[in-house]
Amino acid sequence: MACSRRTKLLLLLWLRRRIRRRNTRRFWVHPIQQERDSLGEFHHLYPQLIKDSEKFIKHFRMQKSSFSELQDICQDDLLKENTNYRKAISPIERLTVTLRFLATGESFQSLAFRFRLGHETVRRIVKETVQVLWRKLQPQDMPVPDKHSWEQIANGFQERWQFPLCAGAIDGKHVQLKAPVDSGSQYFNYKGHYSIVLMAICDAKSKFIVIDVGAYGSSSDGGIFQDSNFFQRLREKTLHLPDPIQIPNTNTIAPYVFVGDEAFPLLENLMRPFPRKELSDEKRIFNYRLSRARKQIECAFGVLSSMWRILRKPIEVQVDFATDIVKATCVLHNYIQNREPDRIKEMGNFEDDTNSTFTPTPARPGRRHTGDGKAVRNLLMKYFTSPTGSVHWQTNVLI
């Protein structure tokens, strides 16, 4: 009994000391952070950057006009009130910290020293700002497609890549994470790392139409696709795809389709290549034409990771936070392309970083196929090898 009472008294004393220690602060604002307005990176570098357009783009990944518009869009959601003890961090500085985190992949600690902010302050700023970016930009820069949108996308693939009735190119990428808490093997991918998967569909100019972020890294492209909300809507025919129409300059009726690699199932509205074994000339030409259209999603991913290098190294946050980061980079990709299309063209020959952690999902052949899918693929194959649908350079693939 006495021992129990003594234990309780010792525990009470320990708790009192811990509370007292927690409430005893060395500084309300650290001296280093007190000089943020004069020595922090934002306050001494930003005024110089706005005088140099080229360096501004390298720093923020966008032109000054795009940055100013982005600031206006996010201003109200990023605005904080001053307190009696400290001055609030302005919306423009919050946006700057977040863009530098996304552009460089620097740690929160490194950015904290650069901007003369607290480590947890930087983490909180980034977490709040990436959510604001998605919430404010998605409705205008990655809107949910409707029938007219799908028609415009298909026109783009026909004009630029000579693939008719193509509503988008689909693929997936692993985004490497620091091992998530209590994740088990769900996020452990085929390369021996923890990751979440970005599944995306893009248009003929490599702009994202639909993204699905957060699937377990242990899954394959096809498995992630079939578990996605997009696939459910495709199967239930609630995507608002236009009705089947004639393939251009023919009397052949065909549905709108998406194009993917061999990891995806062959469906009425989803085309994949013919298996590589014993390919006829017609099948090789079909695979070539499909590959030209499908490469737009590879280009989109390449530009995305070149611009936002946070995707090229393990992200040291938990899954929900990492998901918000990836969504923000994708919607910023579209935001910039909508305002600066020439800059995306300039990045078309992106640098392929072999050490990047932004890696393809494994191409495990999808086993599922339908009779309708086979029939549509054969229709397109015949079109591509006909005088009406062929292009003069496609026979080079046969050499």
Whether residue 158 is found in the same domain as residue 202: yes
Mean pLDDT of 192-199: 80
Q: Is residue 209 part of a domain?
A: yes
Domain boundary at 122, 140, 158, which? 140
Residue 354: which pLDDT band, with cuts at 50, 70 and 90?
very low
pTM of the prediction?
0.85
pLDDT score for 397: 82
In terms of Cβ atoms closer than 10 Å to its own Cβ (0-12, 13-18, 19+), residue 5 is exposed
In this prediction, residue 29 carries a pLDDT of 53
Mean pLDDT of 176-180: 75
Q: Is residue 16 part of a domain?
A: no
* Number of domains into which the chain is organized: 2
Residue 217: the pLDDT is 44
Interval 140-165 mean pLDDT: 97
Q: Which pLDDT belongs to residue 6?
A: 76
pLDDT tens string 182-193: 555 555 445 556
- Tell whether the model's pLDDT for residue 114 goes beyond 60: yes
Instruction: Provide the pLDDT confidence category of residue 263 given band limits of 50, 70 and 90.
Output: confident
Q: Is 185 within the bounds of a domain?
A: yes
The mean pLDDT of 150-162, rounded to a whole number, is: 98
Q: Which domain holds residue 62?
A: 34-140
Is the pLDDT at 362 greater than 70? The verdict is no
pLDDT(279) > 60: yes
Same domain, 198 and 332: yes
State whether 168 and 126 are in the same domain: no
The answer, yes or no, to whether residue 218 has pLDDT greater than 70, is no
Q: Residue 290's pLDDT is what? A: 98
In-domain check, residue 202: yes
Average pLDDT over residues 258-284: 93
Question: Domain boundary residue among 140, 166, 192?
Answer: 140
Q: Which of 119, 140, 161 is the last residue of a domain?
A: 140
- Mean pLDDT across 179-204: 70
Whether the pLDDT of residue 81 is over 90: the answer is no
Q: Both tokens of residue 370? A: 């339908």
User: Percent of the chain, pLDDT > 90?
Assistant: 60
Average pLDDT on 208-229 reads 72
